[in-house]
Every structure is written in C-alpha cells, then in structure tokens.
C-alpha cells in the first residue's frame, strides 16, 4: 500500500453538531506547518448491492448516505485533496461481494473498503480483507462476532448481542409478555443469529417461546407460518429478516387478524410505508431513528430529504455516519496506509455522530446507545 503523508483536510472534523450548511463551512483547519503537497485523490472502495433483490432496501440508501457525506466532506476541503469512491456492485450475493473485494484489493489497490451490506457477505469477505491487510468497515451487518474475524475488520451497526438483550429488557418490562413466537429467514445469517439470540434472551427472562417458524429469503407467502402462530395466541411475535420480506409478513399478519404486536429487527420507514396500517404498533430494536431529536441528526434528516426527496432509512444513516467515522480516522492517521487507518479507527472514542457518541470496542464493534422505536400513526417514534 502507498503511504501518503498529508493533513487530510482535518477532514474530519467537520463538526456534526452544526447545521448542514455549517458542517460544510466550519472545520478545524490545519496550520501552515502541517500542510504537505498531495496531488492525488484518495480512493475508497465500496461493495454494494446495486442490483438484485437487496438493491432497493440496501443499495440505494447506503449509496445515497455515502454520497451525501462524500459531497459534504469534499466541499469543505481547501488543500485540493478529494475523496472518491470506487463502487463495485455485488449483485446482492455473497459471491458478488467476494469478487468485489478481490477486485478492489488486487486491481484497484485500495487501503479501505466500505461494505458489504449483509452479515452473510461480511462473514465471507472480512477474512479476505484481513489476509490482505486492508481495512473493511461494514455499515450495516450485525450478526454476532464478525468483527472478531480480524483486526482490520470494523462494523458501525450495533451487533445482535447489544440490540436484542437491551430491546427485550425494555419492551418486556413495559408490555409484560410471557409467551412469544418467533419467525425468521433460515437462509440468512443475520436472521438466524437474530432468532437464536431472541430465544436465548427470552429463555433467560422466563418467557416461553410457544412457536418458532421459518421461511426463506425471496418467499412472499407467510400465511401458513402465521396461521400456526396465531393458533397459539402468543403475547408477542419476533421477526428476524432482511428487508424485502418484512412488509409482507406484517401485511399478512394483519389480514389474518393477529392482534399480538410484532417486534421486527431493523424496521425502516420504507417498510412501514409499504405495510401501511398493518405496521401500526410494530416495534424495532435499532441503532438510529429519524425521531432522535438531536441537532446533528435533525440536520442530517433535513439535508438528506432535501437532496434525495425522501427521508433517510436506518441504512442511509449508518452509511453516512460510517463515512464521517472513516474520515476522522484518516485525519488522525495522517496517512492512507491501511495499518495506520486501522490503528486510528481502533482509537476512536466518543466521536460525535448522528448515531450519538460513537466508539469502537477492542474487537472493532460499534459502541453507542441503542434505540427502540414503535410505529404510531404511521410513523416510527421512540418507544417510551
């Protein structure tokens, strides 16, 4: 890897607590003695599902989140150095993510790759990044233990073993559920890990799991599974699934007359809109929400909505935050050397982001406050 000594824009320290306009204009400027000549742009690899079944739910919002952060950061630079993205479409497959990582590493020679989107992909490509000593940061994967695959591996999404216990603790205390059913995608590592964690935590709290049903990614008919669940009259139904199936599950549950509330991992505004009235009362354990009323988060929501004509999803928010976290690490490293960036990422503590105060733990996993949201009058609001 090439090492470039530079002041990377004190890129970073685009102050996230300011308004969107202020973020572009008010940064910590380097002193004259810090300035060095850097003529080349800095390339960052990206693998995304821009085609395939995950393109709408993951690919578009993640690319928009990256793009918005990239534009803000580049617009604020005064030393001529610009960040640029080399994007590889993984086609929503594990094989595509592996191919994308290998191309970005061996042909494009990048020091950092942002992605992939899913836990199944991440499980396969993090070892490739580790073997080649290239930094990999997944903004959205959250199955347990994946950052432990290597010290060049980092994740910005809160892991299952953070979100599930805290979410069940809060919702069970308020709702008092004693019997639960679970429904999950048996072909997807995020979903299987999530369901396993749900059942472990419920068992520890003395909540009986009366049914566990499965489906496969790409299915559209969940009526048989939901009918069997309905017959057992659980107090609550936990769903672990990738985005495409969530609206259909909620809609068909509503059509069957299921009255038990659904708790769905990473439910987004788009899912709620697609499910309509069927989403009312559904809850989610998540790391970000548009309802979080901090100045930097509301500025992001407003800027994203104005730019793309839609509110950001959780995936867009995490990708936006990921880019700022990476920029902070490059500024700290004063280098594009992958080992230097890795060390700088590992040292990030209490960094201000739209997710809140952000840190990495010793394994490269994200540390910040989890959130619980509930659908009320068609909107995801804070569960209280």
pLDDT in tens, 211-250: 999 999 999 999 999 999 999 999 999 999 999 999 999 9
Q: Look-up: residue for tokens 């880019």?
A: 323
pLDDT at 13 over 50: no
How many CA atoms lie within 13 Å of 13's alpha carbon, on the beta-carbon side?
10
Three-state SS string over the chain comes to: CCCCCCCHHHHHHCCCCCCHHHHHHCCCCCCHHHCCCCCCCEEEEEEECCCCCCHHHHHHHHHHHHHHHHHHHHHCCCCCCCEEEEEEECCCCHHHHHHHHHHHHHCCCCCEEECCCCHHHHHHHHHHHHHHCCEEEECCCCCCCHHHHCCCEEECCCCHHHHHHHHHHHHHHHHCCCEEEEEEECCCHHHHHHHHHHHHHHHHCCCEEEEEEEECCCCCCCHHHHHHHHHCCCCEEEEECCHHHHHHHHHHHHHCCCCCCEEECCCCHHHHHHHHHHHCCCEEEECCCCCCCCHHHHHHHHHHHHHHCCCCCHHHHHHHHHHHHHHHHHHHHCCCCHHHHHHHHHCCCCEEECCEEEEECCCCCEECCCEEEEEECCEEEECC
- C-alpha of 114 from chain center: 11
CA distance 57 to 317: 13
Dump pLDDT digits (tens) for 110-165: 999 999 999 999 999 999 999 999 999 999 999 999 999 999 999 999 999 999 99
pLDDT grade for 1, boundaries at 50, 70 and 90: very low
Give the separation between CA 246 and CA 251, rounded to whole angstroms.
Answer: 9
pLDDT(356) > 50: yes
Q: What's the rounded Cα separation, in Å, for the pair 197 and 69?
A: 33
Average pLDDT of the chain is 90
């Amino acid at each position: 890897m090439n090492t470039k000594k530079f002041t990377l824009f004190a890129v970073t320290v685009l102050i996230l607590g300011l308004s969107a306009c202020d973020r572009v204009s008010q940064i910590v400027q380097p002193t004259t003695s810090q300035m060095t000549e850097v003529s080349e742009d800095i390339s960052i690899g990206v693998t995304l599902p821009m085609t395939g079944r995950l393109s709408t739910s993951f690919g578009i919002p993640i690319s928009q989140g990256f793009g918005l952060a990239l534009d803000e950061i580049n617009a604020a630079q005064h030393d001529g150095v610009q960040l640029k993205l080399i994007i590889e479409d993984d086609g929503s497959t594990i094989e595509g993510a592996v191919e994308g990582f290998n191309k970005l590493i061996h042909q494009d020679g990048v020091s950092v790759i942002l992605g992939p989107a899913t836990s199944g992909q991440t499980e396969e490509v993090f070892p490739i990044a580790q073997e080649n000593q290239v930094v990999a940061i997944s903004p959205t994967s959250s199955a347990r233990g994946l950052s432990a695959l290597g010290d060049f591996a980092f994740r910005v999404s809160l892991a299952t073993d953070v979100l599930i216990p805290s979410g069940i603790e809060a919702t069970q205390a308020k709702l008092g559920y004693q019997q639960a059913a679970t429904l999950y995608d048996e072909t997807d590592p995020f979903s299987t890990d999530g369901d396993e964690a749900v059942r472990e935590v419920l068992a520890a709290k003395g909540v009986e799991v009366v049914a566990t049903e499965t489906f496969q990614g790409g299915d559209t008919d969940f009526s048989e599974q939901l009918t069997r669940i309905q017959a057992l009259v659980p107090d609550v139904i936990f769903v672990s699934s990738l985005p495409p199936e969530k609206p259909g599950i909620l809609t068909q549950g509503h059509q069957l007359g299921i009255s038990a509330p659904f708790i769905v991992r990473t439910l987004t505004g788009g899912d709620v809109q697609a499910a309509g009235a069927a989403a009312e009362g559904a809850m989610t354990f998540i790391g970000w929400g548009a309802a979080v009323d901090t100045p930097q988060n509301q500025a992001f929501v407003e800027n994203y909505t104005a730019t793309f004509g839609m509110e950001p999803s959780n995936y867009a928010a995490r990708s936006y935050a990921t880019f700022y976290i990476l920029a902070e690490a490059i500024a700290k490293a004063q280098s594009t050397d992958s080992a230097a960036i890795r060390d700088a990422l590992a040292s990030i503590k209490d960094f201000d982001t739209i997710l809140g105060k952000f840190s990495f733990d010793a394994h490269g996993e994200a540390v910040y406050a989890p959130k619980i949201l509930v659908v009320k009058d068609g909107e995801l609001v804070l569960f209280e």
